[in-house]
Every structure is written in C-alpha cells, then in structure tokens.
Structure 1
Amino acid sequence: MPLINRLIAYAADLFGAPPLPAAPQEDGQLAAIALLVHVARVDGSLATVERARLARMLEGRFARDEAEARALIARATDMDDETRDVADLVAMIGRDTSEAQRRTLLEMAWAVAAADGRVQEFEDDLVWRLGQLLGFEDGQITAAKAAALAAPLRGAEA
C-alpha cells in the first residue's frame, strides 16, 4: 500500500471517519472500468440505462456513492478514448489478476452489454473477444455469459 494511502487510513482511524472503499487508483483497476465503458459504448453511445447499471456496479467496490461512481466512469471514458484497442486495456489490467477477478470482470461485461434488456450481436462479439483476451476458453465464456444473464451481479440490478 502506498504511503499516502496508509496516511489517509491512519488519519481516518484517528478521527473516527468511516473507512473509504477501495479506489481504483491503479491503472489496472481503472483499465477494468474502461473495459466496461467500452462495452457499454460499443454501439456509439453510453446510454442512460448502461451508465446507471455501470454506476451501481462500481458503488461499494470502488466508489462510496453514485456521484463518485459517475466520476470514475468519466475517468474511465477518457482512458477508453485514449486507448486504441481493448487488448491494450486488458494488458493494463496485469498478468497477476486472478482467474476469479477476470471471470467477475467478464460477467460484469456481459451484464453491461445486457443492460438494455438484450445483447446485440456486436456487443456479443466484443465481450466474446474480451473473454478470449482475458484467457478464457469458449466454454468458460459461455458459462460466464449464462451466469451474468441469469442472475444480476451484486450491485448490478437493472
């Protein structure tokens, strides 16, 4: 943990402030959010329903509230704009990301793609490619899709 984070935690403890949720200060965490933004914007825009679902996914994980989640989405949107390809974002996530974390990210991507009630063909193609870039085989990608579409992720209810 960086020194500044330890100092903030110490000060919060000293003054009785509630602990802050983990912030995506690392490029890898912001890159994961940027991947989700990319999925949401694959049709050319970030629709209101997609933005709302994404914000709910981030609350409690990386943001204290909706306003903070929306600020993270704005930062991730900028990162997505500056990145040439989803493969670059996947590379930023890092090789030390566990399989469970990668699977959660893939399920979140499917949930974002389905935010409007259905997964369009181009959304399906993008998330499928994302699954392959994250190191999953076809059966694992299919299972992640089924899991995400059958039961909304925590914080991702429509």
Structure 2
Amino acid sequence: MSLIARLRAYAADAFGLGQPADAAEGADERLAAIALLVHVARADGILAPEETERLAHLVEGRFAQTRAEAQALIARAAAFDAQTRDMAALVEMIGHEAGREQKARLLAMAWSVAGADGDVHEFEEALVWRLGGLLGIDEAGIVHARAGDPLATVP
C-alpha cells in the first residue's frame, strides 16, 4: 500500500470515518497508473483519437471490466492528472510494493499509448524514458518495453 493510502487509512481509523469507496485496496494505485498513461497520451499536446482508443482498450483490459467503466476511470484519471501534474508523485502513488513485472507492464502500456497515433513524438519519448527511470527500470528494460516485450529482462 502506498504512503498516501496508508495515511488515508490511518486518518479514517483515527477519526472513526471508515474507509471511503475510493480508498479500497489498490484504488489509488490504479488511478495513478491510469493518470500516468493519460499524461503520456497528452505529452505532445494532442490527444489523438487513436491514443484515446488505445488508452480505453488498455484500461479495459487491465483495470476495468467494461468499456464504460474504463472510460469513467480515464475521466477520473485525467482530472487527477490535471491536478497532480507531477509524474514523480504519480509514480510514488503506485507504491513500492508494485513488483518489477507490474512496472514493466505499465511502461509497455505507456509506450503503446505514445505510439498509438503512428508516431512517438519526441516529448512522448522523453516522457516515457523518464517514466521508466522513475519506475526503476534500467535502459535495457525500457528498450524491451518499447519493443512490446516488457518482461524480457525481468528476473
């Protein structure tokens, strides 16, 4: 559980508030991961229809059961990204408990979103490389994630 999630749980317990619906295990981490993908999609200043579609497809496959649920999560994540605007803070919310495999898959998803419109813009490329570094993935792992094989260097 991330530091923020632990602090929320502590405050809820200390003040007898109970857990809000969003504080369910993994909800913050899931929202932060989707916000990172939205951040990448917006990196070049244009949210192309292909990027929107790819994002919805990835979120539906990994974080949501239906397209409607995926779109609702993306809308919440987009608002969250607009408020946060700090990729490092979003990575921190994912938590240290996330394993290397999960982080590598997230990075591969980021590359997929960046290239959905047929061109990885230099801003997108720089952002995804930075994301890989923040996730603790080495250069070889970042290259493998870009090639669509994020687990090639995972022990």
TM bucket (normalised to shorter chain) is 0.7 to 0.9
Closer, same or farther in 2 for the Cα pair 1:77/1:24, shift >3 Å? farther
Matched residue, 2:117: 116
Matched residue, 1:101: 102
1:43 paired with 2:44, answer yes
Take 1:44 and 1:134, find their aligned partners in 2: how far apart are those partners? Answer: 23
1:82 paired with 2:83, answer yes
What's the RMSD between the two structures over aligned residues? 1.9
- Percent of pairs identical after alignment? 58
SS in 1 for 2:62: coil
SS in 2 for 1:147: coil
Take 1:47 and 1:39, find their aligned partners in 2: how far apart are those partners? Answer: 12
Displacement after TM superposition at 1:70 (Å): 0.8
Matched residue, 1:53: 54
Take 1:24 and 1:51, find their aligned partners in 2: how far apart are those partners? Answer: 27
Closer, same or farther in 2 for the Cα pair 1:24/1:77, shift >3 Å? farther
TM-score with structure 2 length normalisation?
0.76
Q: Give 5+ residue unaligned stretches, structure 2.
A: 1-23, 150-155
TM-score with structure 1 length normalisation?
0.75
Q: Give 5+ residue unaligned stretches, structure 1.
A: 1-22, 149-158
Closer, same or farther in 2 for the Cα pair 1:64/1:45, shift >3 Å? same
- 1:35-89 residue CA offsets vs partner (Å, 9 max, x unmatched): 0000001122322111111111111432222121111110000110111310010
Structure 1 segments, 4+ long, off by >3 Å, are none
